[in-house]
Amino acid sequence: MSRTIGVTTAERIATGLVEGHELVGKLRVHEEDPGAEPLFSTPPTGIAQLFADEIRAVAAGQTVDAIGIGLPGIILDCFIEESPNLRQLKGVNMRDLVAEALREHGITAPVYIYNDANVLAAGLAATHGQLDRFIRVWTLGHGIGFGVYPPRPGIWEGGHVVVSIDPRERYCGCGGVGHLEGIMGHRAMRLRFLDMEPDEVFENARKRDQRCVEFVKLWHRALAAATANSIHLAGPGKFFISGFNAKHLDLNLLHQYLQEMVKMSPLQSYVFEVAPSSDENAVIGAAVSAAQSIHA
């Protein structure tokens, strides 16, 4: 049974040792010092050193077979081609930087870099006994992530799928028009409603504030449209929905909109499951992905 270490950066840096598909011991969560430089402004070498310090602490002198790290952005063969949320990582070979920092600690296990939503998809597949099936996951957080398991060739930046042709929809962090993230992302909602926080928008919708009611409908319709696009391209199946804003999801409303968009009967066998936001699932997914990579 492989012993691997998983690292995730979805909402905070979390690291754990995994045997098979189970976490060994406690998850280690990095809490930023109040005066420390935030991750989004830390240079790549600094981020690599931070990962190495967390990995060394979790390894605790034990030998591990591989290390998997989940990061936001377009990641191909462990190379970060684009990362709107950590822009300093664009064009960076983070695998080499982390491996070099780890060698200073005497750790020589191979390092693999993955998209953070893909490692969450792997973790949900592992913890739900679905490693033999195709699953997809939407992560509703500061941005919108879209993960698939098992990995398939492609970019899979589902948060940037176009769900509106309204030229006024310019709230996506990448600057693109009409993107799903520009409607559903936490940052985008704060830009749209400068007079209230996203949680207040949903609360006011429950109180029948018409502006908020209409936005909540748009929010759900946007997710339905993006999901319908995925179904029409890759077929039906299981969709997990996670992230700290998944708490706002009305599954009945989502189903209603999706039924309006997916009409071909062979494509209607889709299923949704809300998965509570969990560092553990993402860490397990990063570790499981690394274990699979060494045997690929």
pLDDT, position 9: 87
pLDDT, position 48: 95
Pairing of strands 22-29, 14-19: antiparallel
Closest CA relative to residue 54, chosen from 46, 85, 288: 46
Asked if 277 and 242 touch (Cβ cutoff 8 Å), the reply is yes
pLDDT, position 91: 92
Q: What does the alpha-carbon distance between residue 172 and residue 186 come to, in Å, rounded to a whole number?
A: 10
pLDDT, position 41: 80
Q: What does the alpha-carbon distance between residue 277 and residue 259 come to, in Å, rounded to a whole number?
A: 26
* Structure-block tokens of residue 105: 């600690």
pLDDT, position 257: 98
pLDDT, position 84: 77
* Distances in whole angstroms, Cα of residue 171 to Cα of each of 52, 147, 166, 188: 35, 22, 12, 5
State the CATH class of domain 3-121+278-294. Answer: alpha beta
Residues of the chain with CATH 3.30.420.40: 3-121+278-294, 130-274
pLDDT, position 32: 65
Return mean pLDDT, the chain.
93
pLDDT, position 197: 97
Cβ-Cβ contacts under 8 Å for 159 (sequence gap 6 or more): 143, 144, 145, 146, 179, 180, 181, 185
Pairing of strands 66-71, 111-115: parallel
pLDDT, position 83: 86
| pLDDT tens for the 296 residues of the chain, in order | 789 999 998 778 999 999 989 999 999 998 766 555 677 788 999 999 999 999 999 999 999 999 999 998 999 988 999 987 788 899 999 999 999 999 999 999 999 999 999 999 999 999 999 999 999 999 999 999 999 999 988 899 999 999 999 999 999 988 999 999 999 999 999 999 999 999 999 999 999 999 999 999 999 999 999 999 999 999 999 999 999 999 999 999 999 999 999 999 999 999 999 998 789 999 999 999 999 999 87
Rounding to the nearest 10 degrees, give the CA dihedral for residues 232, 235, 239, 245: -10
Classified by CATH at the fold level, domain 130-274 comes out as Nucleotidyltransferase; domain 5 (3.30.420)
Place of tokens 């804003």: 245
User: 213-259, pLDDT tens digit by residue?
Assistant: 999 999 999 999 999 999 999 999 999 999 999 999 999 999 999 99
